[in-house]
């Protein structure tokens, strides 16, 4: 099912998300000329018409990781033929994370598995795995984030 199109494209760098009012959770997402749907699975009351919010978060991290690795490999002329990134989101007890600042309650954990295809030696693979943690979305997720929320008037 296609999302309804907006009358005007959002400004560059702006993403617009709004309810479609089809189902409880379905959202239309507009990013420039791109339109997609977000939703929740049927088992939690959604229509399952698009990825859920955490799926989109994981997709952003995975896409950024792969793009960053491709850019680096091409710039360094490494024989990287393909990158695949598999991600999972879950929660763990803070006490199970030795390197985390939070020591009580639950914390979010993202597991990221990167497959590097190509005739790469051990040193090149190590370089690429180090670069993976330098992708902009990874750095954003690991940094302090200041989110400011304001109410905008209806159009």
**What SS3 string covers 104-154?**
CCEEEEEEEEEEEEECCCHHHHHHHHHHHCCCHHHHHHHCCCCCCCCCCCC
Per-residue pLDDT of the chain (155 residues; tens, 9 = 90+): 444 444 577 888 899 999 999 999 999 999 999 999 999 999 999 999 999 999 999 999 999 999 999 999 999 999 999 999 999 998 877 777 777 677 777 778 899 999 999 999 999 999 999 999 999 999 999 999 999 999 999 87
Taking the C-alpha atoms of residue 140 and residue 123, their distance in angstroms, rounded to an integer, is 27
> What is the per-residue pLDDT for 116?
98
- In the chain, domain spans: 1-50, 53-142
Q: Are 135 and 67 in contact (CB under 8 A)?
A: yes
Burial 80-94 (b: 16+ CB within 10 A, else e): beebebebeeeeeee
Tell me the CATH class for 53-142.
alpha beta
What pLDDT is recorded for position 1? 47
């Amino acid at each position: 099912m296609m999302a309804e199109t907006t009358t005007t494209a959002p400004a560059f760098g702006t993403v617009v998300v709004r309810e479609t009012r089809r189902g409880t959770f379905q959202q239309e997402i507009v990013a420039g000329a791109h339109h997609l749907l977000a939703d929740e699975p049927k088992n939690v009351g959604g229509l399952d018409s698009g990825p859920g919010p955490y799926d989109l978060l994981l997709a952003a991290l995975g896409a950024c990781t792969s793009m960053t690795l491709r850019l680096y490999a091409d710039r360094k002329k490494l024989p990287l033929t393909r990158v695949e990134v598999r991600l999972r989101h879950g929660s763990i007890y803070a006490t199970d994370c030795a390197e985390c600042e939070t020591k009580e309650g639950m914390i979010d954990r993202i597991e990221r598995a990167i497959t590097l295809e190509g005739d790469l030696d051990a040193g090149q693979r190590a370089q690429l795995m180090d670069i993976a943690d330098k992708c902009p979305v990874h750095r954003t997720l690991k940094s302090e984030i200041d989110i400011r929320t304001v109410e905008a008037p209806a159009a």
